[in-house]
Structure 1
């Protein structure tokens, strides 16, 4: 038994007691932790060619360590995630698919309600339907960008529509792949 809730309900002149019993059955393999989005591992291999690994989109920090997850479904503030196969994890990407794409110097990839951006540009613009703000792009040239529904980000020739409830930008550190 997970929890029992008792309510007194009045119907006309009489009172009744209603009891709700909530049961919980969890898998022994279930892990609990903090879920966060992961940018793909990649870099420009020349001025216009971007190469990246299709690494898992999510990471989960648990009491047992780091877990890679391919797919997570959000239920309010909770997530239910599928753990990645052992052949392709964020820290062991040997079994991950390598992709090479031609760009105009800017690569954009959707990650859930965010956008991953890799670019040679130093600045981008946020438009919130009334004003624009110019923002700096970090030294790595890569960032994970979440912008609200009514906002747009403009990175060079690319316009990114907002798909999030919040504004959040995170610089991505580039490591050797």
Structure 2
């Protein structure tokens, strides 16, 4: 477990279910599960079991022992007697693969758009066209207090919680003049 995705509760739940599938009679010792899954915080295992118990898939046998009670855990290879279910799962898998392919295409398009936007913004020829009207801001942020900041690239803006200070932010720029507009809609 290295990346944040590797440590997600969703992934841990999938690994926990696989562990339940491999256990004798769907019975699992949570201490052993935490050790087998290399979980440092047992609380994460308890979060999973509380949800599974809440939706009626498991029951507690004793303090750290749980049992799967929702019937046989579904292993598609072993469920030859349920062809409709297998067909449904295969359709879901195909749909998921198609959606992942679409997501990959959208991710590529997003990268291209971001690069195009960077190219436009960084071009000195386009600087004189870099503006936004008050009506454009009003459409995006209706009924809100809005501050527009005109500052050189690289300017740091710090937003301070309004309860701490009557001025909600401060700016730090050594690159040139900064102008702040308070827009009242």
TM over 0.5: no
Q: Which has the higher strand share?
A: 1
Class of the TM-score when normalised by the shorter of the 2 chains: under 0.3
Higher RCO, Cα 8 Å, sep 6+: 1
Higher percent of residues as helix:
2
Please give the TM-score of this superposition, normalised by the length of structure 2: 0.18
TM-score (norm 1): 0.19
